[in-house]
């Protein structure tokens, strides 16, 4: 090493760390006033930088971009999270920017190096057994006015979310009847839901027999809740269109009553619809169309979920696509 990378650090306030790194830490502490926790993380990052440079037998001031890329890859291979690697690279980048201000390096070797992207968390989905149990659950009518109508509405809500893979905003936007001003509606005769999705893109989704049955049961009682001039398919106790928050709360309460061991929200049923259907059919493009994804990459996340065991539980493209026979 030719810039005294192995220079003595006996008097250094950070034992074992190169003088350049120590002076930079002092700059961060005194002039930049970084928090103690940040300084601790940066100190650890600089120890790793010095270690990598020592193993590669390269002076700190002579580190090149290919060195940094290789070291970032090694950190990733060692199991360091992408977010932690980003912090590491940020510390190194600041160090070389600081050296460059005083002319000690001609280029910042970390300038063009980025941490690996953090993996997106896989969407949570119910198992088939859980989803079917939730959809088929006959909740006792609430002990308040029009309790039977509320129970029928929540059954319909659940079946449409899971049976059609709708977003909650798409669900509550449905009208009871098609019309010039209707954003979306369900054509019972054609067993099709017509919805307006993200980007104001329209799509049509098949409605399974179980969802149709629940829909008809709700429509028979809807007038008990709906205001006379309310076009919405799903309404609250005051007769107006159900809000997304009301839909979430109704589903949460229904899942608790059904004894599901996890918090259930509308988007979880959309995830369940996608994973169960994809596992059974294997048709990624079809699932993309049903979900209304503009880009297939948004649908591909469901291929990473391990639901291999589900194929033994059901034999149709979707577990609620067929009428359930008598018990």
Catalytic residues: 167, 198, 267, 270, 293, 302
Q: Look-up: residue for tokens 């019309």?
A: 179
Spatial neighbors of 228 by CB under 8 A, at least 6 apart, are none
Number of neighbouring beta carbons within 10 Å of residue 180: 4
């Amino acid at each position: 090493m030719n810039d005294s990378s192995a220079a003595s650090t006996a008097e250094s306030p950070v034992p074992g760390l190169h003088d350049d790194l120590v002076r930079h830490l002092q700059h961060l502490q005194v002039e930049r006033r970084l928090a103690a926790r940040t300084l601790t993380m940066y100190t650890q990052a600089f120890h790793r930088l010095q270690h990598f440079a020592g193993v590669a037998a390269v002076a700190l001031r002579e580190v090149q971009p290919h060195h940094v890329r290789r070291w970032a890859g090694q950190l990733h291979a060692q199991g360091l999270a992408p977010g932690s690697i980003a912090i590491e690279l940020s510390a190194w980048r600041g160090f070389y920017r600081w050296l460059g201000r005083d002319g000690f390096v001609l280029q910042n070797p970390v300038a063009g190096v980025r941490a690996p992207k953090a993996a997106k968390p896989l969407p949570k989905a119910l198992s088939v057994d859980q989803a079917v149990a939730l959809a088929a659950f006959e909740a006792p009518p609430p002990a308040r006015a029009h309790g039977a109508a509320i129970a029928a509405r929540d059954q319909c809500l659940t079946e449409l979310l899971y049976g059609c893979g709708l977003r909650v905003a798409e669900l509550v936007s449905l009208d009871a009847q098609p019309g010039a001003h209707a954003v979306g509606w369900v054509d019972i005769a054609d067993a099709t839901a017509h919805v307006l999705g993200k980007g104001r893109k329209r799509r049509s989704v098949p409605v399974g027999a179980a969802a149709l049955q629940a829909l008809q049961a709700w429509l028979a009682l809807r007038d008990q809740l709906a205001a006379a001039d309310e076009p919405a398919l799903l309404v609250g106790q005051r007769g107006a269109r159900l809000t997304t928050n009301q839909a979430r709360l109704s589903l949460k309460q229904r899942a608790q009553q059904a004894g599901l061991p996890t918090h259930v929200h509308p988007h979880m049923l959309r995830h369940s619809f996608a994973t169960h259907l994809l596992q059974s059919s294997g048709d990624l493009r079809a699932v993309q169309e049903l979900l209304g994804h503009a880009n297939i990459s948004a649908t591909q996340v469901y291929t990473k979920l391990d639901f291999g065991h589900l194929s033994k539980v059901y034999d149709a493209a979707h577990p609620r696509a067929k009428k359930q026979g008598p018990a």
